[in-house]
Structures are given as structure tokens and as C-alpha cells.
Chain A
Amino acid sequence: MSVILDCRSLTKKFGSTTALSDVNLSLERGRIIGLLGPNGSGKTTFIKIINGLLVPDDGEIRIAGMEPGVESKKIISFLPEKTYLPDWMKVSEAISFFKDFYEDFEEKRAYDMLHRLNLDPTKRLKTLSKGTKEKVQLILVMSRRADLYCLDEPIGGVDPAARDYILNTIITNYDENATVILSTHLIADIENILDEVIFIKEGRLVLHEPVDEIREKKGKSIDSLFREVFKC
């Protein structure tokens, strides 16, 4: 299997606090990977570095062999935890925006998903609730044919019914060559769809294993292992 993401002693500091410390990690294609850790553990810092929004202080990172930059951004589909669409836009305008800038964006898929969630594309984003905006963003991000999807807290702000739909959307919308990184602390909700998990604690990688192995060898669910590792 080819490698989609490779990090060597990746380190990022903010002043005196170390947000990521000596992270070595190699992720393969075709996986759904949970990036798990408590608040402030460095999940978002890691995702920002992958997406070129932060420059690491030390170490290196390669996405499909490339440093973060224009070429890597073409193959990464990123969902930040922020509502990042300009609120004066109509949903349909946001779709045209994505279509203009991303060659791998499939307009039809976006409209199909909007339709299935009963979202009106002629509505302005500012008239939508926070949860609905998050759904629109997820639809845009999942309508790309990317190699790597980085989803930062994709299910945090939506109701459980929509949560199921969104997770289903994620599973059914990526192809076998693509990898999905899902950052969240709502582990129980996503446990069933994960192939691998990464635990980060205080900026350090503490575990990276296939889910099956954890279940078989340790005889534990991810949720209970998480509670054990991150016990306060």
C-alpha cells in the first residue's frame, strides 16, 4: 500500500508551549483513521500543519511525497472546525466557488446531497443555523474526489440523526485510494467506521494501531481504551 502521509520528528511550539513534539507517523491510502485526543492535545495543530496553515518548527511532513503547498492542497479536502464560508454567499454560490478552485469537485454530488438533506441551495448562509452551515461545509468537502480528507470535529455541532447521515456520507463518498482523517473526541459515535486510531496526548503520539488489533489483542473498545489512556 502506498503512503499518503508521512511525518518525521514533526515539532511545533507556540512560545514556550509545545503543541506537537517529535511526531513520527506514516499513514497509508484507503483507511479511515481516527485522530483522537482530549482538548488541547495537538489534534488541530497537526491538522493545520497537514493543510499548510501552520509551518512546523522542526521535522518534516510529506503528503503523497510533497511538502505542504499548492500541489498538496489540490489533493487534500479539509474541513476545519470553523464555519469558514463567507456568510453573505448563497449555498449555490459556495458550490460555484468550490467548483472554480478545485478541479476534483463534483457539483452534481453536492446538489444530490443537499437535496437528500432537504437543504435549499438558494438560501444565504447567514440565514442558516450553525449546524446546517456545518452540514453544507461537510457536503462541499465530501463532494471532492480528494486523496486525503482531513475532517476536524465534523460531527461536533450536529444532531445525532444528522450525525449518522454524515458518517454514512463519509464512508460512502471516499474511494478506496483515499484516506480519511477524522479528529474528534466523540469516540463512541465513530468507533464502528474506523480502520485505525491515533492517540495524541500533550503533543505526543502515544498510539497508532489498527482498530481490529486493539479489539482482539487488548479485548477493549476504542472508547474504553481512550478512557484508560487519557484518565484524568
Chain B
Amino acid sequence: MLGKLIKHELNATGRIFLPLYFIILILSLVNRVLINISISTGPLNTLRGFMIAAYALSIVATLVVTFVIMIIRFYKNLMSDEGYLMFTLPIKSSQLISAKLITSLLWNIASILLVAGSLLIMLGTSNNMTILRDFIDFVARGLKASFGSNYVLLIIEFTIMMLVSLVQQILLIYVSIAVGHLFNGHKVLGSFISYIAISTIIQILVTLILLIWARIAGSSLAELEAIPQKVFPFSIIFALICNILFYFGTNYIFNRKLNLE
């Protein structure tokens, strides 16, 4: 059933994302050609400026759309009239949340890859690729020099941390919308307030933990090794705990407190 839900979710969101992705790929191809034409004046130059601006705009649009769609899909499909359809399907409400989460995660990653890919298409001349490779080498050497054998661990931890934080951002929105749903008559406002309140609480918690931790651990926390050995693992575990709370909090509200208008 989860598979079917994800299929329908991709279907519902793909009709917005795919045309946008297509436009970006076309624009980056056009720009690749335009950038490599050596003309500095005349209408072609104006066109080039225009196309690059269009490209930049479409990149911004993709990132904004990815974020906005994530919110609107969850709200409209589950909390508005469409909720009557979704919550009477023979499906656990946790699967509704999981399907939305997995789909949002996929589109977020797809959008990031697409932006990176389109930049490569547009600027990926052999000259630029050498510069890019040199830069990556430079960063890798720097990391090796600073972290020694911990360097691979650091990269793995960093990747996991990015993923877990992305999930945290998505679930924070979901739980805020679910909590906002409990505010009768002011559900959207309630969602905003919940979002701000929950993020503030988390900020305060993190700050407190870090302060106490720094006091106990003393200067050892300021050393470079502390990053892969303490700071990153802590961030990952903290985010994981938040994710679990957000997920089950949303599910609890859906199961026990649902009250569609």
C-alpha cells in the first residue's frame, strides 16, 4: 500500500516538478551554447543576458517550489476536503505520513541533483572541469591534513547529517501542520505558531545542551577531532530523536485528534 501511495504522490507532484525540471534543462543547454559564442555586443548579447537571468530565476523557482509544494501537498491532501478521501482509505495514517515524507525527500534530492546537473551542463567545459577537479582535490587534501584517518568518517557522518536534517525540516513542517489542525478555526495561523514554537524550543535545547556539554568537556570540545567524534554524532542523534518525536506526534494527532472541517 505504501508503494501505491508513493506512486500516487509522485503522480500528483510530478505534474508540477517535471515541466519545471524540463525548462531548467533546456535553459541550461541554451545557455551553454550562448555562453560559448564570443559576442560582446548586439541583440545576441542581450538575449544571452536574458537567458542567463531566466536560468537563475528558474533555479530559484525550483528551490522555492520544492519547499512550497511540500507544505501545500501535506496541508491540502490531508487536512482539507481531500482528507476525507485519504483518511478513509484502508491504510494506516502512518503510511500517509511516510508516503508524503519519502516523496518530499525524493523531490528535494532530485531538485538538488538537477541544479548541480544543470550547472554542469551549462558550465562543464573541459577547462572548467579541471578547475572543479582541482578544487575538490584541494578540499580533500585540506580535510585529510586536518582530520587524518577520521576523514572518511567525517564525510560519511556529514552525508548522514545532511539527510537526517532534511528529514527533520520536512517532519517539522508536518508536525506543525498537524498541531495547527488542533487550533479550531485558526488552523493555518496555528500551524505557523506551532512551527515557530517548536523550532524555538529546539534551538533553546541545542544551545543548552552545548553550553552544559562545553562546561563538562572543557577545551576538548574545541579541538578538531571533536567534530567527527563528538559534534557530528551528537547532531545526528539529536536530529534522529526529533524526527521520531515529530513523526509519532503527527501520527498520534492523525489517529486520535483528527477533526476535518
Provided the pairs A84-B84, A84-B85, A97-B8 are in contact, do residues A55 and B90 lie with their beta carbons within 8 angstroms?
Answer: no
C-alpha gap A149/B8 in the complex (Å): 25
Determine the chain A residues whose CB is within 8 A of the CB of B90 once the complex forms. 70-71, 73-74, 101-102
**Which of B15, B88, B258 has most A Cβ within 10 Å?**
B88
Indicate if B91 sits at the interface (CB-CB under 8 A). yes
Total interface residues on A, CB under 8 Å, equals 25
Q: B12, A73: Cβ atoms under 8 Å?
A: no
C-alpha gap A83/B77 in the complex (Å): 12
**Which of B4, B8, B256 has most A Cβ within 10 Å?**
B8
Total interface residues on B, CB under 8 Å, equals 25
B4's nearest neighbour on chain A, judged by CB, is: A100
Indicate if B260 sits at the interface (CB-CB under 8 A). yes
Q: A101, B15: Cβ atoms under 8 Å?
A: no
User: Whole-angstrom distance from the CB of A59 to the nearest CB of chain B?
Assistant: 16
C-alpha gap A73/B95 in the complex (Å): 15
Q: Which residues of A31-64 are within 8 A (CB) of B?
A: 48, 51-55
Indicate if A86 sits at the interface (CB-CB under 8 A). yes
Q: B88, A51: Cβ atoms under 8 Å?
A: yes
Indicate if B259 sits at the interface (CB-CB under 8 A). yes
B16's nearest neighbour on chain A, judged by CB, is: A88
Contact of B77 among A15, A74, A86, A101 (CB under 8 A): A86
Indicate if A82 sits at the interface (CB-CB under 8 A). yes
User: Whole-angstrom distance from the CB of A155 to the nearest CB of chain B?
Assistant: 18
Indicate if B87 sits at the interface (CB-CB under 8 A). yes
Q: B85, A85: Cβ atoms under 8 Å?
A: yes
Q: Which residues of A81-103 are within 8 A (CB) of B?
A: 82-86, 88, 97, 100-102
Indicate if A80 sits at the interface (CB-CB under 8 A). yes
Q: B91, A84: Cβ atoms under 8 Å?
A: no
Indicate if B92 sits at the interface (CB-CB under 8 A). yes
Q: Which residues of A74-127 are within 8 A (CB) of B?
A: 74, 76, 78, 80, 82-86, 88, 97, 100-102
C-alpha gap A70/B83 in the complex (Å): 15
Provided the pairs A51-B88, A52-B87, A86-B12 are in contact, do residues A101 and B4 lie with their beta carbons within 8 angstroms?
Answer: yes
Task: Please list the residues of chain A having a beta carbon within 8 angstroms of any beta carbon in chain B.
Answer: 14-15, 48, 51-55, 70-71, 73-74, 76, 78, 80, 82-86, 88, 97, 100-102
Task: Please list the residues of chain B having a beta carbon within 8 angstroms of any beta carbon in chain A.
Answer: 1, 4, 7-8, 12, 15, 77, 81-85, 87-92, 184, 255-260
Subset of 15 A-B contacts with CB under 8 Å: A14-B259, A15-B184, A53-B84, A53-B87, A55-B255, A70-B90, A70-B92, A71-B90, A73-B91, A74-B90, A97-B8, A100-B8, A101-B90, A101-B91, A102-B89
